[in-house]
Chains A and B, each alone.
Chain A
């Protein structure tokens, strides 16, 4: 194989005593190349399939729910059809009421009326019981439906209920992504800004970015000196000190978070020490945890090794002679460091910093346990939509926005550091 490759310029050539021309050679070369490419690819294929089927496709499927919602349209097909041509402002017609009554009969019989009600309630709060109570006495409903429905519950004449249903009846909807950035989809398809007291997501995204940025900054500020120390000390000492970085790195995040609760709570070690040294008195201990400060401290601690280790490996590679040369040329210590040493460590700061930032931005456990209210991040909010308010569609839309931000930084990381240069420990 190699022989062919090396001699491809020279022709004609014999293999096994057979003379072959250029075209034949090229064909064989291509074939050999293809075979070796294919063999390399075959090695990667099992993992590729595994990742695609257990990771990429599931996440794509989940994110699709951010724009796809059939919870109304699949259960209320008649109304959905009749709402399609409705202009969202004129009075609903008898046909629309009849379609509604027909659908309500079905969903109340198969006990899915609650899901329909929940869906419309998201668009027009307070309409939930309208559906469920109507469903309970649906058997007594007779034509003309407009009259009998309105007689049963006056609210059925409220156009906002119908507008809510029209918005809910969209199967493919930009509504959840709009909500994820504090906008609101109206029944007629226009998009407005959400009323001020219900705007929250932009604020949360900004807070998440702020916390991640601060954590990254703290990691650089705290990580740089010790990486420098580790890189310049004799190997025997630095190996010992390196344990102090590696031990936290290999210790469970849950353990470290628990430890910080023991340290920072109001009866905790830090407050005890502050009281002992007279910084504060027993009655006015500091709130160091269950707030943003708690999140910042614990996350910095957890992510600091991700900063120190890449920085350390970069600094190890900088020959000490450079600094010495600078100094012998007359530079002060500071100039030598700032003009000669520091610029060479920038790749390490970049690698560690972006990695810390990417991990921080999607962090869930630590903010959930020590963040309290003001220290919680967008991941916690996505989780609460998954597991408390049960609005999986909105969770998917928020997740989509978060993933987009993360992928931008992943791309940046690849551009600046290169994914194949990622190192651990």
Chain B
């Protein structure tokens, strides 16, 4: 009986403590080093400036939770960091609040917001914060057979033996497979529009399928490399950069065949703390906040005015960030921008076909 009483007491104490604080917004992002960079560059300064608090939550992308919350009429998330295709789709489905570029502050150099944001980074329901990229990386201490340098090398398990890590999703994999198969970057989506193109991409993936370890969360690929589960893996460039910069991992990024994309803030329709969240959205896409984030992770800021402020890694003054950005000219020689419209159109069908291919 004593146990029960203590339990009861504990239960009541917990109930009393479960009340939540006022002026608190829930911001959802991709976790790991990326969320860490946002916490340092956005959350902390904003909390200090306004006295509000930010509750940070991780997810693995997609609109599922947003849709579930909006349809349940009980929205818990105030801001979500999404990919472009999801931002567009969510907007079309009426799941997101609309925003206006007129409300956003001018850049630090005085440029109006609509001229300061890079082309294509502002949408009806979404504003981009960073440019990121899917690249592939390898562990230089474990890879044998030479130094991989092209996207085709990733698919060459004869020359570079060992396991490969790939995201369990057709997105980026199909494009990379085609580029490795000799399709020029600007023709990739044209080829993918056809049945033969998809077959061709899957056939290329087939050539390494037996060696693939599939990952789902952005934090996994550096872990897979570090644990020796794979010798090469596709990954988000910032995650690999951070493993190198802060943990001295012997990883190398191959920029050939990179696929770059945007991450954008969206606000689910009916967000509980709309005003504070809007304030956070404006603050975090300001010139300084974006430049500050670039000192924590190698993702390019979406504002032109932030570019000149990008310096070096936060605790390594000798490590200049500019050359590690997806948008650095040297990294763009053979690069592809993710085509959100293609994916919005074909996502369902390709997921289905990709899953069937996986299960084969």
Contacts and interface: CB of A to CB of B under 8 A. Distances in A.
Whether A and B touch directly in their complex, counting CB atoms under 8 A apart, is answered as: yes
Interface of A: 110-115, 117-118, 121-122, 125-129, 132, 135, 197-200, 203-204, 207, 265-267, 285, 287, 290, 372-373, 381, 386-391
B5 to A, nearest CB: 23
Given A121-B349, A200-B355, 6 more contacts: A114-B93, A118-B93, A132-B344, A267-B228, A287-B163, A387-B65
B304 interface: no
Given A117-B92, A121-B348, A372-B213, A200 B64 contact: no
A265 B90 CA distance: 38
Given A114-B91, A197-B353, A266-B229, A373 B346 contact: no
B170 to A, nearest CB: 12
25 contacts: A111-B92, A111-B93, A112-B94, A115-B93, A115-B94, A117-B92, A121-B348, A125-B346, A125-B348, A126-B346, A127-B345, A128-B344, A129-B344, A135-B92, A198-B353, A199-B356, A200-B355, A200-B359, A204-B359, A266-B228, A266-B229, A290-B214, A373-B212, A387-B64, A388-B351
Nearest to B64: A387
B70 to A, nearest CB: 11
Interface residues of B, number: 35
Contact of A113 (B92, B163, B212, B229): B92
B140 to A, nearest CB: 16
A158 to B, nearest CB: 14
B33 interface: no
A390 B94 contact: no
B227 interface: yes
Contact of B345 (A126, A207, A372, A388): A126
A373 B168 contact: yes
B227 A200 contact: no
Contacts of B90: 114
A205 B62 CA distance: 26
Contacts of A207: 359
Given A198-B356, A265-B227, A391 B93 contact: no
A386 B64 contact: yes
Given A121-B345, A125-B346, A203-B359, A114 B214 contact: no
Contacts of A200: 352, 355-356, 359
A132 B92 CA distance: 7
Interface of B: 62-65, 67-68, 89-94, 163, 168, 212-214, 227-229, 341, 344-349, 351-353, 355-359
Contact of A129 (B68, B94, B228, B345): B345
Contact of B349 (A114, A125, A266, A388): A125
B113 to A, nearest CB: 23
A386 B359 CA distance: 19
A104 B75 CA distance: 28
Nearest to B212: A373
Contacts of A112: 93-94
Nearest to B144: A283
Nearest to A179: B352
Contacts of A266: 227-229
B38 to A, nearest CB: 23
A203 B359 CA distance: 8
Contacts of B212: 373
A290 B213 contact: yes
B356 A373 contact: no
A11 to B, nearest CB: 53
B64 A390 contact: yes
A121 B91 CA distance: 17
Nearest to B65: A387
Contacts of B352: 198, 200, 389
A372 B168 CA distance: 9
A387 B355 CA distance: 15
A390 B67 contact: yes
A91 to B, nearest CB: 25
Contacts of B228: 266-267, 285
A110 B344 CA distance: 20
Given A112-B94, A387-B65, A129 B356 contact: no
Nearest to B62: A388
Which residue, of B64, B89, B214, has the highest number of chain A Cβ atoms within 10 A? B64
